[in-house]
């Protein structure tokens, strides 16, 4: 198989999230450059509540014991996973976000692994592979290999759970250009003006489900009113 020629872009993506670590949460909490005004912020917060409720309901219904969280970031989802399961293995390429996550979650049942997910090979099998706002950073050319890795990480009867961005012109910072829905790439700016290129693939529930079916997963996906897609994918 030809290796995708995207290493430089993926390195830029890692560098971006390392540099962004101390300002990352402004996106989720709609502060600073992510404050889009009362109306949009209220719509965002309603969608945040929607996906967080969906995650908590999924955990209550399926009761996974061992969870692999891919691209755990600063812990916006780790904090919901850790108190509800026996153990979380939380992987991210950025030591800076892992430090913030550890400080936020402070749980003895979370082990952190610093690794590039495009080189990562799970050394255990899990009841749940969780990825929040990670799949959109997987280039099309690496999609199949990524999901083959997810499959290797899953116990029989286990499943993956995805939360990610829908395409909305108010989801990014005020000084970011709205990315073309189909470009697969976006430019992102930090508070100090530095710019980076990242992979950004905007999936819709139906197209993602079709794409996942082609690599052997049965997906049940939904969308919040404006900002997010979410749902489960089970190996067929
Ligand atoms: C959009 S953030 C999502 C973080 C967290 N899951 C959340 O929902 O807030 C993407 C995360 O992917 C991590 N990341 C970027 N490239 C990576 C790579 N090649 N391998 C592992 N993690 C990577 C970043 O450090 C960042 O924490």
CA distance linking residue 180 with residue 105, whole number of Å: 35
Average pLDDT rounded to a whole number, residues 212-229: 98
Question: What is the overall mean pLDDT for the chain?
Answer: 96
Q: Tokens representing 149?
A: 């890795």
95 Cα–ligand 1 center, Å: 11
* Rounded-to-integer distance, Cα 59 and Cα 88, Å: 13
72 lines ligand 1 (CB under 6 A): yes
Q: Which domains does the chain have, with CATH numbers?
A: 7-235 (3.40.50.150)
Query: What percent of the chain is predicted at pLDDT more than 90?
Result: 92
Dist CA 217 CA 209 (whole Å): 8
Per-residue pLDDT tens digits for 123-170: 999 999 999 999 999 999 999 999 999 999 999 999 999 999 999 989
pLDDT at site 176: 77
Burial class (CB in 10 A: 0-12, 13-18, 19+), 50: middle
List the one residue out of 73, 94, 74 whose CA is nearest residue 18. 94
CA distance 81 to 110: 9
pLDDT above 80: residue 177: no
Q: For the residues 105-109, what does the mean pLDDT come to? A: 97
State the first-to-last Cα distance of the chain, in angstroms, to the nearest integer: 24
In the chain, % of residues over pLDDT 70: 99
Strand-pair partners of 219: 233
Alpha carbon nearest to ligand 1 atom 8, residue: 132
pTM above the 0.75 mark? yes
Lowest model confidence (mean pLDDT) among 56-70, 98-112, 152-166, 178-192: 178-192
**Could you tell me the two tokens for 64?**
């996974």
> Residue whose CA is closest, atom 15 of ligand 1?
14
Is the pLDDT assigned to residue 89 strictly greater than 70? yes
Q: How far is the CA of 132 from the centre of ligand 1 (A)?
A: 8
C-alpha span between 193 and 205 (Å, rounded): 33
Residue among 32, 34, 23, 14 nearest 227 (CA): 34
Is 90 exceeded by the pLDDT of residue 1?
A: no
What pLDDT is stored for residue 3 in this prediction? 60
Mean pLDDT to the nearest integer, 97-113:
98
Distance, CA 234 to ligand 1 centroid (Å)?
Answer: 22
Distance between CA atoms of 73 and 58, rounded to whole angstroms? 21
């Amino acid at each position: 198989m030809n290796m995708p020629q995207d290493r430089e872009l993926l390195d830029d993506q890692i560098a971006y999230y390392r540099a962004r670590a101390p300002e990352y949460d402004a996106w989720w909490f709609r502060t600073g450059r992510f404050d889009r005004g009362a109306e949009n912020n209220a719509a965002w917060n309603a969608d945040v509540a929607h996906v967080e409720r969906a995650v908590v309901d999924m955990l209550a219904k399926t009761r996974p014991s061992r969870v692999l969280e891919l691209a755990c970031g600063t812990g916006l989802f780790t904090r919901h996973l850790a108190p509800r399961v026996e153990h979380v293995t939380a992987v991210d390429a950025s030591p800076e976000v892992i430090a913030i996550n550890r400080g936020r979650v402070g749980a003895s049942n979370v082990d952190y692994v610093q690794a590039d997910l495009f080189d990562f090979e799970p050394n255990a099998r899990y009841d749940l592979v969780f990825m929040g706002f990670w799949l959109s950073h997987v280039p099309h050319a690496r999609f199949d290999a990524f999901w083959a890795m997810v499959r290797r990480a899953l116990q029989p009867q286990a499943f993956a759970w995805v939360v990610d961005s829908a395409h909305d012109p108010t989801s990014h910072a005020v000084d970011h250009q709205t990315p073309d829905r189909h470009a697969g790439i976006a430019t992102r700016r930090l508070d100090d003006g530095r710019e980076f290129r990242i992979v950004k693939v905007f999936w819709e529930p139906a197209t993602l489900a079709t794409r996942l079916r082609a690599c052997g997963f049965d997906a049940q996906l939904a969308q919040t009113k404006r900002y997010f897609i979410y749902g489960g994918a089970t190996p067929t």
